[in-house]
Chain A
């Protein structure tokens, strides 16, 4: 869900699919692993160090690749391809450095889950839910209430008009990347705490993020959060009827249906048809 929201913010601000967002998510988990297992820092401290690093990584992507592309006025397809390229490079760097096998940052044994409404939930899952809710609320407030949030929304709406009104659009977009990457990094660490990490974990998270953004409606953060939730439920309900291997397929069939029949998602504003 956090991935989806970070992805949504970037998508809104810059109008392209930031695939490399998935690798920021993976990087969050691996930075933590790096500090904890290689340098021997305690877990809490490792997490604190890893989060700013993911923010930095996201900002570097913007500065090194996206900013020059935007200066040249490239189309969104160019952005998409460059982003895919970055994803591939970084994913392979990670698997070269750390190996393809599963790594863990959990300490101690898996604890027996708590019983909540007849479902078993581990403490870490409760933590995930709490952190997600807090961050979603914070980001929503940040976007709606502060001056900076206003600027971000202005840039998302019409970048030229925003620049004319004296908003430094490059800085605002950089800020957008910073926030989105921080969210992704935190999400990556949380997921790694729950189910460990592999170099390819980002792809999965990203795919779910893309689906949630499109189903939830571009530009509507509550919509995206809701979609991420519904998506999770739909996938797990699907498991009751057919086996769990089809989770991805279910998610993407939903995506295709939405793309074809309701590209604005169920809470999004109507998108311009064929912006030519």
Chain B
């Protein structure tokens, strides 16, 4: 039962991550390979605040969102000047630099040793310590994320984002301020990703830089793409499938040393296969056509 709850909690975390990345990749057409960086920033902000200042959970979440959002704005700025794969490479650079800071600024982030002993969260005296309570909290946050994302993409704001994705110059010609839309969606996406990071830090109670590498970013992208870019429910579905699939390998009696590699092989292969035969994913609407 514990194990089942653990899987559900992981799915929850990845739902938040992939839905927020979908806003950036699927709806705005900005391929970002830096989502794990925002995820990591959220985790580190929460962990450092909780360990050094013993500040309450809600305050930490707020700080993480604000800081990650700021970084998101910084990341969004290159998107104004460069496009497509050049932009993807810029986010790639951003990801590497963030990882480098987490890994090397030992006095502040603990470096490769990570930050152990993150306390359990409490909201107004409600101490969250069992898996059930965590699952409840994660589900709540997932619902909020999906609801906000749904509101965004069905609003006029979301329509402008899609217009930018399909034809940027046209959107501009219609009098839309393309620059501010792009930066804003990055702020929103980064903020949401940091919430997932905060939850991860509190749930595992230990973080180290290896959880927030470029591979993690690629994993989140795979979820978005395989589920379907430009469709929120696609990301929810993708997160569930890609988290459960490797776990199924365990029951096939695969030793854990191979299982870790198998997990990556599976999502790497899925990525290639989907690109070849169905670039829009299971139920997506955007297939990176220009």
Interface, chain A (partner B; CB < 8 A): 16-17, 65, 68-69, 74-82, 84-89, 91-93, 95-96, 203, 207, 210, 214, 243, 245-246, 248-249, 252-253, 255-256, 259-260, 263, 274-276
Contact = CB atoms under 8 A, between A and B. Distances in A.
Given A259-B89, A263-B86, A85 B169 contact: no
Contact of A80 (B31, B90, B269): B31
B268 interface: yes
B268 A260 contact: no
Classify chain B: how many residues form its interface, as a range. 35 or more
Nearest to A20: B272
Interface SS of B by simple majority: helix
Residue of A76, A88, A89 with most chain B CB atoms under a 10 A cut-off: A88
A214 B272 contact: no
Nearest to B31: A77
B275 A256 contact: no
A273 to B, nearest CB: 9
B224 to A, nearest CB: 10
Contacts of B288: 74-75, 77-78, 81
B81 A88 contact: no
Interface string B246-288: 0000000000001001101101111110011001000000011
B264 A88 contact: yes
A89 B268 contact: yes
Interface stretch (B44-52, B60-68, B91-99, B141-149): B91-99
A85 B271 contact: yes
Contact of A214 (B89, B264, B271): B89
Contacts of B59: none
B133 interface: no
Given A17-B89, A77-B288, A96-B258, A276 B169 contact: yes
